[in-house]
Structure 1
Amino acid sequence: MKVIQAILDDEATDAEKEHFRTNMDKCIPCIESYRLEKCIKDSLNLKIQKKPCPQSILDTIISKINS
């Protein structure tokens, strides 16, 4: 599952990607998990609006961290 998450987050090493590609066809639970996780991630990316954080909120966060 960690490898699947790393692949979907584009954080997997080349060796992990190759291992997954090589063994994916042999493992039905891996295929199903990959498809489900990818579907969830794609759906969230379509639904979430990416907006910059207002400067006033950033200033508040930074002041609380520094105090």
Structure 2
Amino acid sequence: MNASSTTPSVTEVAQKQMKHTCEHHAECMKIIQAILDDEASEAEKDHFRENMDKCIPCIEAYRLEKCIKDSLNMKIVKKPCPDSILNTIISKINS
């Protein structure tokens, strides 16, 4: 008898111990966006790291959002704004 066929893997055991629903999904999504935008505080990052170790929906949401952001960054060509447009915007804001 092969022990590996009856013994669950570490991943399977870990997944059974993890949360499959997130009670604070909206809050977690805000923190994920702040982390990906490099605007999260150290406390928010630490809190999210602790939560991510236990919450499958947060792990999946982080991976998806990061993948989307990385894909967009690779596709977008960044061009400087022409001075004439910039001056027009500034003058309209100041008036």
- TM-score, length basis structure 1: 0.89
Instruction: Name the structure where helix makes up a greater proportion of residues.
Output: 1
| TM-fit CA distance, 1:26 | 0.9
Q: Deviations over 1:3-26 (max 9, x none)?
A: 111111111111111111112021
Alignment partner for residue 25 of structure 1, among 21, 44, 53? 53
Q: Partners in 2 of 1:49 and 1:14 — Cα distance? A: 31
| Structure 1: gaps of 5 or more residues | none
Which residue is 1:53 aligned to? 81
| Structure 2: gaps of 5 or more residues | 1-28
Q: Deviations over 1:21-60 (max 9, x none)?
A: 1120211110010000000100111111111100111122
Larger-gyration structure (1/2):
2
Pair 1:44 & 2:72 matched = yes
Q: Partners in 2 of 1:49 and 1:59 — Cα distance? A: 22
Alignment size in residue pairs: 67
Identity in percent: 85
Q: Residue 85 of structure 2: SS of its match in structure 1?
A: helix
Q: Partners in 2 of 1:66 and 1:23 — Cα distance? A: 45
Q: Residue 26 of structure 1: SS of its match in structure 2?
A: coil
Alignment partner for residue 35 of structure 1, among 55, 59, 63? 63
